[in-house]
Amino acid sequence: MKGGRWTTQTGSSTYLSEAIAIWLRDLRIEFRTRYAVNAILMFAVTTLVAVSFSIGSFRIEASEKPFLYAVLLWIILVFSALSGLSRSFVKEEEAGTMDALRLSARPQAVFLGKLFFNLTLLGALELIIVPSFILLMKYEIEYPGFFAAMIISGGFGLGAGTTIVAAMIAQASARGALFSALSFPLLLPLMITAIKGCERAAIGMGTAGWAEVKIAVAYVMIMMVVSLFLFPLVWEE
Amino acid sequence: MYSLSVTNLTKYYSSTLLFKDLSFRLNPGEVLAIIGWNGSGKSTLLRIIAGLVRPSCGRVEMFCKNAPIPKESRRQFIGMAAPALSLYEELTALENMEFFCRVRGIAYDRRNCLNIMERIGLSEQAEKMCRNYSSGMKQRLKLVQAILHNPPLLLLDEPGCNLDSKGMKIVEDIISDQRQFGMAVIASNERREVDYADRVINLSK
Amino acid sequence: MILKAMLSIWMAVIIVAAFLYTEAAVGFPGETSRILFFHVPQAWVATLSFLVSMIASATYLAKRNLKADYLAQSAAELGFLFCVLATVTGSIFAKATWGSFWNWDPRETSIVILLMIYGAYFALRSAVPDPERKRVFAAVYSILAFTTVPFLIFVVPRITASLHPENTMNPTQPGMDPKTLKVFLGSLLAYTGLFVWMLRLKMRILRLEGLKEPRFGDFI
């Protein structure tokens, strides 16, 4: 065994570089274990199949379609997200790695890293579920651009509203049920907005000004800022 | 250069008193051992110094040339290895090193890390998932993870647990390195580990 | 003691006045309009306690003062109670005037969301074993929930039109009968007094319970 100094480097990091390191590491672990993806996608696919099978594309009157389809789509998206978005924090707690993370990264960076990871999961979820839903249910959309913007901003909202809640419930008992119970009231305004927005996009009426997308974007910004402020309190003892 | 000062530290764990009015100062080049019966608060004391647990009362401060280091940035100056501090089981040893380098903003050098792996006797397992490691192998990896960013203050909770005599040589190496360039606090009841220290604090008195 | 006696006399006077002194408003079936004197103050107290709880939570996070946490918890519990009362009285009125107990009127929607937030708040409190963390988490959640309220105010009225009587029963409108206005304001005062009294009682209980558990949080 050789002697000598072990290391001589000292580092300097930014919030963003720390957050990206955490995000990439979470992605790498997720690719290997498919811990969260399995939970979310299986939930989403089974619900989608159940909806499509029991309702089909002809049961609902054409005039009712825009509204009811928006409701069904967002119920699938929100509850699939709630079934798996807490995984990354819960896993960290269960494996006992939270303290190592606390010692090596700034709390805001941890929040951002986990937010990026959750947004990646949500992106994958929407990429699979939304096109399948449109195809299976023969969802006709007058303004696809507005519709896509609504789906994307709504997805960001789901991530921004739930990441700090996930950090809290990871440190509590009865985690699974608690996550939905705590997140749902926070997500309701977003969900109502997104449903309304998708309905308008389908009808092709009243999309001027993109009001719903703006509300969703405002929701994302405010929840992110508030979470960044509050996260250190939740994360550190 | 760096120093640590602990003033009037008191910690209650629910209603039991762990320690009261504990004060000490650690200067560069010093190695301190903390001993005490099981449940006397050795690990908790280390966790308080690391900033993972709030003390019930009292202060922990670190100084760089007498200038206090703010609590938020203290994590850059502390390295810690403890039984309760796990590494990522789904990553290989190298990937664990890579992550901790990246998150601390150290340039990740694969060759350098492989050298370290060789030095701790894990070069053949460097690309295997940590899940398959024995507890002694995990402990070796935890030890080098703690000194990856060259911290002035090293906190070691039972550094020799699960280690064989070759493993103990690593601990010895790390501590003598630390004595030269920084400070260390060891919490242990093992005679061979306590012997590395210059001073001993007994929490069970 | 004297304040308590005064409050109970005042409350009794309001109840009597609500039924005997005022006349039932025109345009409502039978005597149903008298719900105004009970339902609206209950909803007011429910909102007030939500606000108090949020401010106390923020204070707790800033100062780590146990009393602020007791206040936040007590206000939340009373808010929940008054939410339930307002929901029940409102439902009875809804059945009598609009023919069904529940209509998803915007105010009904908001009160359901408020009930869900309170439910989540209590669930969180009971699920965190460490007392210090429990208080921090509860306070953080309370602030998060409060952050979403402006969105609700903006978003919810867009779903359906309100069924709630606005003009005839809104005290700020000139259409309100002066007698009704007097009793209504008296009732608001009585309910607020009741809220303050119950709040102090609940805080005292929490403080006494807290004496049993170690109170080293005080040092922090």
- Let me know if residue A28 belongs to a domain: yes
Is residue C220 assigned to a domain?
no
- Tell me: ipTM over 0.90: yes
Min CA distance, C218 vs chain B (Å)? 8
Q: What is the pLDDT along chain A (237 residues), one digit of tens a residue?
A: 445 677 777 778 889 999 999 999 999 999 999 888 988 999 999 999 999 989 877 788 888 888 999 999 999 999 999 998 999 899 999 999 999 999 999 999 999 999 999 999 999 999 999 999 999 988 888 899 999 999 999 999 999 999 999 999 999 987 778 999 999 999 999 999 999 999 999 988 766 778 889 999 999 999 999 999 999 999 987
Q: Does C111 touch chain A (CB under 8 A)?
A: no
- Taking CA–CA distances from A5, the nearest residue in chain B reads B177
A10 lies in some domain: no
The answer to whether position A4 is within a domain reads no
Options 1.10.10.10, 3.40.50.970, 3.40.630.30, 3.40.50.300; CATH for B2-202 is 3.40.50.300
Residue to mutate among B13, B56, B62, B104, with most A CBs inside 10 A, is B104
Query: Is the Cβ pair B54, C213 closer than 8 Å?
Result: no
**Total structural domains within chain A:** 1
* C214–chain B nearest CA distance, Å: 5
Interface of A with B (CB under 8 A): 1-3, 5-14, 17-18, 20-22, 24-25, 28-29, 32-33, 95-97, 99-106, 109, 236-237
DSSP per residue, chain C: -HHHHHHHHHHHHHHHHHHHTS-PPTTSSTTGGGGHHHHHHHHHHHHHHHHHHHHHHHHHHHH--HHHHHHHHHHHHHHHHHHHHHHHHHHHHHHHHHSSS----HHHHHHHHHHHHHHHHHHHHHH--SHHHHHHHHHHHHHHHHHHHHHHHHHGGGTS---S--TTT-TTSTTS-HHHHHHHHHHHHHHHHHHHHHHHHHHHHHHHHHHHS--GGGG-
The verdict on A172 touching C (C-beta cutoff 8 Å) is: yes
User: C51 lies in which domain range?
Assistant: 2-11+35-208
Instruction: Convert the pLDDT of each residue in C101-146 to its tens digit.
Output: 888 877 788 888 889 999 999 999 999 988 889 999 999 999 999 9
Whether C142 is in a domain gets the answer: yes
Domain assignment present for C28? no
Judge contact between C7 and C193, C-beta under 8 A: yes
Q: What is the domain partition of chain B in residue ranges?
A: 2-202
- Its domain, for residue A161, covers 15-235
- Cβ atoms of B172 and B127 within 8 Å: the answer is no
